[in-house]
Structure 1
Amino acid sequence: MLNLYHIVMQDGMLYKNYVIMKMRVIITTSVITFKQPSLRVYTAKMSSDTGQWCLIESDPLIFFYKGVFTELIRAFNVQGTQVEEVWSLDEALEELKPVYGLIFLFKWQGGNDSSRLHPEADLSVDENVYFAKQVINNACATQAILSILLNCPTIDLGAELENFKDFTRLFDPYNKGLAITNSELIRGVHNSFARSDPFFMDQTDQSSSEKEDIFHFISYVPVQGALYELDGLSNGPVNLGPCTEDDWLEKVRPVIQERMSRYTSAEIRFNLLALIKNREDVYRTRIGEIDEQMIHASNTNNSGELMQLSEEREHLLQKIEREKIKFKGYERENSLRKHNFIQFIYNIIRILAERGELQARIEYARKEMSKRIKDRAEKKKGESGSKN
């Protein structure tokens, strides 16, 4: 089944939607003759203005962050952590403990996002907090991750990131941001997770109503008895009040809920991620404890406790296997995301044309795209109505 993509011919452009890769590309035309007349093959312009930092996708409806962020952190040689999506601000967070920090993704609405602070916010400088200004576009995802990693002394950062932290510790926020921008390690790891995309969006052809939404990442992390919001676009770390390692998750809930309340009910594009201790390590630690308890239960002939512990141990082993499968899936997902499928798709289009099947698929894709455009327009109309 040739179902990896849809093709739509509309206004002289070819839109390709990858189902697996979830990428959209706009391509300009040149004509090549195939067996099926009127077929056009499209060539692309190369982007030359992306700078040294590539764009990592940020739309929460089409992108799965936990795999990319987990692999990105591992590429820094940071040990014993992973990233998980959070679907609830209560039970789900409790199950993920220990949680080192949270990353919140939201739709950027302009300068008011960072200036509208929590009522109890304190912007006074705290030298214990590692805070870096974001000084380059496209870096906010990686910077949000670093904001947690560089503020958690219990995380094994690895030699290179630890040396970077020590070297820049006394820098002011702006120079810390410059140091992050110019770090070959950080920039190289970030860029290695870019999707393979030889095309660029010609913004001059888009009306203001068609411009893509911008999304932004910020971090929440406890540092030496206080809860902080770290946003590279703010002037400094935002002290949200005192907390402990046990209650900081409870105290961050109303802050995140308040941010979400600034949007209309139709806006659902939020994402909350938790940077947590590696689950396999957590499970293996618990298995070690169970083994000791089983020895004691065996010595005291406590068969009931022994059976209960044995069942828990088996359950943990199953969880470990699921974690291994999940991590292999992350590797495959990132490999697919970074692979250039253009030649593959070009040849599929050519084969469809040779078989005389292309036009029917184009017509089908046109109908699908028309439906999406209509649905999008209705959604925007609903958002506009709710604002009024």
Structure 2
Amino acid sequence: MAEAGGWSTIESDEGVFTSLIENLGVKGVQFEELISLDADTIRSLSPVYGVIFLFKYLQDQTPTTPTAPKDGTYDTNAPENLFFAAQTIQNACGTQAILSVILNQDNAASTPYPIDIGRELRSFKDFTAGFPAELRGEALSNSETVRTAHNAFARASPFVDETVRSARDEEGDVYHFIAYTAVNGTLYELDGLQPYPISHGGCDADGFPEKVIGVLQRRIERYPEGETRFNLMAVVRDLRVGAREIGDVEVLEREARKRKAWDWENTLRRSNFVGFIGEVLKGVVGMKEKEGKLDEWVQSAKGETERRLKR
């Protein structure tokens, strides 16, 4: 886990994201992974509050001028009710993208199904309402509530401090999360590394699937041919709500199984099995020593490893 005050990296996973916002007090919302850029798939999950896009960050994707992004236009006079925060810390871009959707879909001006964001996030949003993007980002980075919820899903490791990035880490692939959501009839791209929200033009709830797919396709086309390291997550109303409204038992059972699997997977994410594995290994070694077969066992393992490497 991360040390006090740090933000760990978390996995892009529908179960992780859903549990994270529930821990923050958000009600009636879940995440669904999208395996294809298909407007009909997004529409089938309606109502959809927005999407979270994970991609490999390329340095040449930064805007060539401070006034023009590569797609869309900077909204330098964004509406007051638009929540947009600059990214001021590493590792938190996933949670920041999530909040960029959640905190913009809590009122009837954006959606006919406003999100109940809970007491903690309501207090945070109200407190930062008049802040500029940079100060809002600082407030987010210093929120103990949000950081604690985020770090609850850190990858458990006794060897790696997720809050420290080495020179080698900086040279490797870097991935980034951004949010797309419609606010006041406009599709916005909310990226904390950009100076302003990016407007992609008029967009209502019915037109959101086609509009956002078009924007994403243009973005992906800027990558080298064959690049597939992308992940897309839809932010939707809890699917159990609609299923209860129409009495769809099959969906309710499917969602119950899914939630049970998410709980199990998240429990494993929080666990560190190194000690357990070490004790098992010591027990096996002790047993082989008693049988006088330790050297034979080690040589057999080495031979099997060599055969696998050759294959």
Structure-to-structure mapping, 1:34-49, within 5 angstroms: none
- Report how far residue 87 of structure 1 moved: 1.6
Alpha-carbon distance change, 367 to 197 in structure 1, aligned in 2, over 3 angstroms: farther
Residue matched to 1:148: 101
Give 5+ residue unaligned stretches, structure 1. 1-45, 59-64, 288-315, 372-388
Residue of 261, 267, 275 corresponding to 1:335: 267
Say whether the 8 Å CA contact 2:72–2:198 is kept in structure 1. no
Residue matched to 1:349: 281
Q: Tell me the distance in 1 between the aligned counterparts of 2:237 and 2:169.
A: 45
1:84 paired with 2:84, answer: no
- Structure number with greater CO (CA < 8 Å, separation at least 6) is 2
- Report how far residue 114 of structure 1 moved: 5.8
- Aligned residue pairs, count: 289
Residue matched to 1:311: none
Residue matched to 2:203: 243
Say whether the 8 Å CA contact 2:42–2:209 is kept in structure 1. yes
Q: Tell me the distance in 2 between the aligned counterparts of 1:100 and 1:275.
A: 5
Using structure 2 for the length normalisation, give the TM-score: 0.85
* TM-superposition CA deviations, 1:124-162 (whole Å, max 9, x none): 231231100010111001001000011002100011111
Say whether the 8 Å CA contact 1:229–1:239 is kept in structure 2. yes
Using structure 1 for the length normalisation, give the TM-score: 0.69
1:215 paired with 2:178, answer: no
Q: Tell me the distance in 2 between the aligned counterparts of 1:178 and 1:111.
A: 26
Alpha-carbon distance change, 99 to 360 in structure 1, aligned in 2, over 3 angstroms: farther
Alpha-carbon distance change, 119 to 339 in structure 1, aligned in 2, over 3 angstroms: closer
Matched residue SS, 2:210 = helix
1:278 paired with 2:238, answer: yes
* TM-superposition CA deviations, 1:99-132 (whole Å, max 9, x none): 0010000001125246673443233231231100
Alpha-carbon distance change, 267 to 173 in structure 1, aligned in 2, over 3 angstroms: same
Matched residue SS, 2:27 = coil
Residue matched to 2:125: 165
Residue matched to 2:7: 53
Residue matched to 1:3: none
Structure-to-structure mapping, 1:51-130, within 5 angstroms: 52-57=6-11, 65-88=13-36, 89-110=38-59, 112-113=61-62, 117-126=69-78, 127-130=80-83
Alpha-carbon distance change, 266 to 120 in structure 1, aligned in 2, over 3 angstroms: closer
Matched residue SS, 1:350 = helix
- Report how far residue 367 of structure 1 moved: 5.7
What is the percent sequence identity of the aligned residues?
A: 40
- Report how far residue 368 of structure 1 moved: 5.0
Alpha-carbon distance change, 262 to 77 in structure 1, aligned in 2, over 3 angstroms: same
Q: Tell me the distance in 1 between the aligned counterparts of 2:167 and 2:131.
A: 42
Q: Tell me the distance in 2 between the aligned counterparts of 1:286 and 1:56.
A: 35
Alpha-carbon distance change, 348 to 146 in structure 1, aligned in 2, over 3 angstroms: same
* TM-superposition CA deviations, 1:198-225 (whole Å, max 9, x none): 21289879699xx542110000000001
Alpha-carbon distance change, 204 to 93 in structure 1, aligned in 2, over 3 angstroms: closer
Residue of 257, 261, 286 corresponding to 1:325: 257
Q: Tell me the distance in 1 between the aligned counterparts of 2:308 and 2:58.
A: 30
Alpha-carbon distance change, 368 to 68 in structure 1, aligned in 2, over 3 angstroms: farther
Q: Tell me the distance in 2 between the aligned counterparts of 1:161 and 1:344.
A: 38
- Report how far residue 349 of structure 1 moved: 2.8
Residue matched to 2:143: 183
* TM-superposition CA deviations, 1:64-96 (whole Å, max 9, x none): x10110111111110000000012222211211
Structure-to-structure mapping, 1:297-308, within 5 angstroms: none
Alpha-carbon distance change, 199 to 259 in structure 1, aligned in 2, over 3 angstroms: same
Alignment RMSD, CA only?
2.6
Residue matched to 1:382: none
